[in-house]
Structure 1
Amino acid sequence: MKNVGDVIVGKEEVIEHLLIALLCEGHVLLEDVPGVGKTMMARALSVSLGVDFRRLQCTPDLLPSDITGTSIFNQETRQFQFIAGPAFTHVLLADEINRATPRTQAALLECMGEQQITADGVTRPLPRPFMVIATQNPVEYEGTFPLPEAQLDRFLFKLKLGYLSDEEEGKMLINLGHRHPIETLEAVVGGHNLPELAEQIWQVTVADSIRDYIVGLVQATRSHTDLVLGASPRGSLALYRGAQARAALQGRDYALPDDVQALAPLALPHRCIVRSDAALRGRTADQVISELLEETALNLGETTEDWAEASTTAGRE
């Protein structure tokens, strides 16, 4: 986190959420106005991990083969040769993803969901780790194609960076007054070990009461009067897996309700659709999730010691 923070000032929480997504082998949608550091954050993350990074600028004339790759005829061998596209990398930045056509956006579905690409009848696995970081501008809609719900659901989290405070923006200007920090940034961890770390995350204990809390929260989105579509089961898994990863990053081998409550605003709103009449009243999915976090019951009879004891019991078993 500190290494990326040397490049991206004042966004420690967002960096932590990116690391959680990495440990969950999930993908992230960064939605914010231009110039707040979305692209630079993705680049700094890949450099810190020491893994391959590709940037894909999405435009209306981008073709699916521009992402997945294409076959060309090799004159020397007299055979068709597959040329891998930018998706064959570890961290793929899909910049302004909503400027690509739906057909091209769909080319990312198999990459994100199955970590593989099928081209010319041949299925090729993508390298691990594999993470898609997509960006989009929420205030400019001319010439854009809204992401379909099926693709939004593939993103583990939807994050926003926001503007810097006065002090943070001043620090940023000092950092950029000479050589850009990204030019001297070095890898601090072995990114190729991430798949092994991701498997270890499953060992973090989630007590029955917290699991029930996750299910109750997601179920509540499906019956809420202001939502025409609630969160999918993939949303439940995102909360469950995210809570495990957040606990591990904070040095715990057991999840807490705080983990679920911290990640629900990132994992659930983009999976929900607000009814048109509710939207006219100014209601948003973020507001609904915030209210459900206050209303959904949790077993208040349990304490941190109880959840830690559940971890110890699970270890003995």
Structure 2
Amino acid sequence: MLPASQQPRRRIVGATERLTGMGSEKDDQHLEHSSAGNACRSLTVRGRTFRTGSLVLGGLALAGCSSMVAPKPTDPEALAEYQEANDKYEPLNRKMYDLSVTVDKYTTRPVAKAYVWAVPVPVRKSLGNMVQTMNEPVVFFNDVGAGKPRRAGDAFVRWCINMVAGVGGFIDVAKYAGYPHHDNDGGLTLATWGIASGPYLFLPMMGPSTFRDGIGYGLDQGLSPWNYVPRGYGLLTFNWAYNIMGVINTRANHLDDLDQVQRDALDPYATIRSAYQQQRKAMAEAIKNDHRATVPDWYN
């Protein structure tokens, strides 16, 4: 559980990661994959490769556009701010931010507003629970990779309870059984291994990231069992539908937060950048410092 002082920052991060469905599934989770039949299989490939393609294109742009690299200040005070921001590609990142905000304004945001108007809160909450449950395997594998067996055990129990007693994850029964949700992903696991984040990036249609988190996202796609669902039985259709609904539902949950950032922040881009980097650092530290005993409470 995050301290109260970190809750507004987390809401900003969650909101900005969902501009037009972008986001590292940090708390709401890798929603861009799947399909049904041959035509939908093509959509699946595009869905899975969209973020990877954006990362590749972003990397090429960074490599080929020296004008997009912010010059390193010589003034000591300015240099300290430059290093704290960790944003050497700020000129390009700001362009990508403006593009994403514009696209969101005319696409995902109107859909999310209509969704809020048409779908009751309990239904939206249930859909959010389902998306969260579907991502628990990714959390489990990352907990294992981070060397945190107790956290991994909690994630596994959450998935089992919610898939059975929670009717496929629509009801978060595990939370009431003493197993609240916790976050983990590939970028955070790499952070626990001591891998530096690399420069901050704002990727088009995906939102805040870093070189490390981009690599972590690719790892998460390999860890998600839903990317290996066989054809038939309607499972691919369900997977595709839940991904789309997850993007819309998550964006709807952050309508007011993101509007407030855009309205009140003197520099929304810098506010988002600071919130993202501080939140990711805090999440990685929380995982590193989780030294709970492996045996769960119910065993005693």
Pick the structure with greater CA Rg: 1
Please, what TM-score do these two structures have when normalized by structure 1? 0.24
Structure in which a larger fraction of residues adopt strand: 1
Structure in which a larger fraction of residues adopt helix: 2
Q: Which has the higher contact order (CA 8 A, sep 6+)?
A: 2
Please, what TM-score do these two structures have when normalized by structure 2? 0.25
